[in-house]
Chain A
Amino acid sequence: MNERFDVIVVGAGPAGNAAAYTAAKGGLRVLQIERGETPGSKNVQGAILYSDALEQIIPDFREDAPLERHIIEQRMWVLDDESFVGTHFRSNDYNKPPYNRYTIIRAQFDRWFSSKVREAGALVICETTVEQLLMDGKRVVGVRCDRIGGDVFADVVILADGVNSTLARKAGFHEELVPSNVALAVKEILFLPEETIQSRFNIKEDEGVVIEMVGKVTEGMVGTGFLYTNRDSLTIGVGCMLGDFKDNPKRTPPYHLLERLKQHPAIAPLIAGGEMKEYAAHLIPEGGYNAIPQVYGHGWMIVGDSGGFVNSVHREGSNLAMTTGRIAAETVIAAKAAGKPCDAPTLRAYKAALNDSFVMKDLHKYRDMPDVFHQNKQFFTTYPELVNRAASTMLTVDGIDKKTKEREIFSSFKRSRSLTGLVGDAYKLWRALR
């Protein structure tokens, strides 16, 4: 292939597809390279799709995108071994179109998105792994694929190759990920009849529920569990910081945590009888603002997970991926229109636009959160236990007067964390979240 392209996009996840679609729609000659058999066959996500980021790229996506259920209810559970304390937010406002978020199945969704990329005019090549970037001095001029004659050239390469960011790392654009900045999540998909899901979760056709969980199931590691309703399947998973998995003295494998979550007395009845059809694992870059590497240079930009664009506090990633992909492509379109070369001074506009968008603003807002959680494991161990015990004490009717119960609850908090500890914890959380 001796052709030359305006843009090469590596990867066909949300970031890569957003970039390739936007660039092709903008009239650029686009080559997109994907290592999977089909777009989506290497990609893993929970998965929740936030409508807004996609609407900005494909406004009428709802007409034919494979969407599972729109979310009308969000549950947050704090788990102890035998119990949970939870908040549920359910609103009929979420039942009014246009819907705000959906559960999706990524293998199907990514294939759909890729079909739009092709329709927009990009050349999409699958089953091809990019081995390295081709350099001319400090400038990226193309990519080398694992095919005979696999060198292809372009003015700019957009790296959407996922969390491992193999190509930028090999090129020396950034360092290896550190275990404390990345979460390892495992999940299963369990199939059940639609009606069963609807009755168990108190929902009608097309309506969906998500449950996010923290607590003892992660054995004191910083992490969360989740359960999402698809049309005729449930996705259940758990993820913890990779550094915590590594340092856990119990040496617990991730699939043990998942199994324990599935056996929790509050969860087991919801998933009972589900037929497991796939088990997946994936890393999530959760280092936040302070871990974002250099994301542009001479002839290259990094988008999506590859650049660490994940808001772990709000469980947002695919929307940041699509937004960074779109903005990267828009940067190239603007550069071409102005007759400018795709060098670092030009592509600096990409980072500037990200800084002005919700992407960097949100990451900046929560910049201290990863450190606070890392240094204060009590949020994932002591508090879930205390909160559950408090609820149990207060709600168990046993002849003990409520004033005495209140005193017992307060002293249990003080015993576990001390008064200054409690105040300090509240302050740390407030500072990191404000």
Chain B
Amino acid sequence: MNTVSVNVEEKLFQNRYKVDHGRPHIQIKDADVCRNACKSQSCTFVCPAACYKAEGNGGVTLITDGCLECGSCRIICSEHENVAWEYPRGGHGILFKFG
């Protein structure tokens, strides 16, 4: 039961998005905090769209294109409050066909 292989990108590929190019609605405030101060980097596995990636150099990178706008990353970053989180501009971001 424990060997589950799942490609979240394939799931996200089914979704409809209107990406606001060049204007990510969520940003990491200070990359050094992720790299040096945050031990758990829980955003890298809790984010349901896998927007946060743990990098080889110990840092965390964020690409918001597949974001489902749930808000988890902002709330779990409670120790460092290092996530600047806004909704996308009107009409942009995820467009649920079914919801």
Contacts and interface: CB of A to CB of B under 8 A. Distances in A.
B87 A166 contact: yes
B36 interface: no
Interface stretch (A90-98, A173-181, A353-361): A173-181
B42 A246 contact: yes
B45 to A, nearest CB: 4
A21 B11 CA distance: 36
A321 to B, nearest CB: 14
Interface residues of B, number: 39
A134 B69 CA distance: 24
A405 interface: no
Main secondary structure of the interface of A (DSSP, over half): mixed
Interface residues of A, number: 59
B34 interface: no
A129 B88 contact: yes
B14 A246 contact: no
B62 interface: no
Contacts of A410: none
Contacts of B70: 184, 281-283
Contacts of A245: 42, 46, 72, 76
A278 B96 contact: yes
B57 interface: no
Nearest to B5: A259
Nearest to A275: B14
A283 B18 CA distance: 21
A111 B45 CA distance: 33
- Residue of A129, A163, A182 most packed against chain B (CB within 10 A): A129
Given A129-B90, A251-B45, A281-B48, A263 B4 contact: yes
Contacts of A242: 46, 72, 75-76
Contacts of A7: none
Contact of B90 (A35, A107, A276): A35
A42 B94 contact: yes
A368 interface: no
Interface in A245-295: 245-246, 251-256, 258-260, 263, 276-283
Interface of B: 1, 4, 6, 8, 11-12, 14-15, 18, 40, 42, 45-50, 68-72, 74-76, 78, 86-91, 93-99
19 contacts: A35-B88, A35-B91, A37-B95, A41-B99, A106-B99, A107-B97, A107-B99, A126-B91, A164-B74, A166-B86, A186-B48, A242-B72, A242-B75, A245-B72, A245-B76, A253-B50, A255-B6, A259-B4, A281-B68
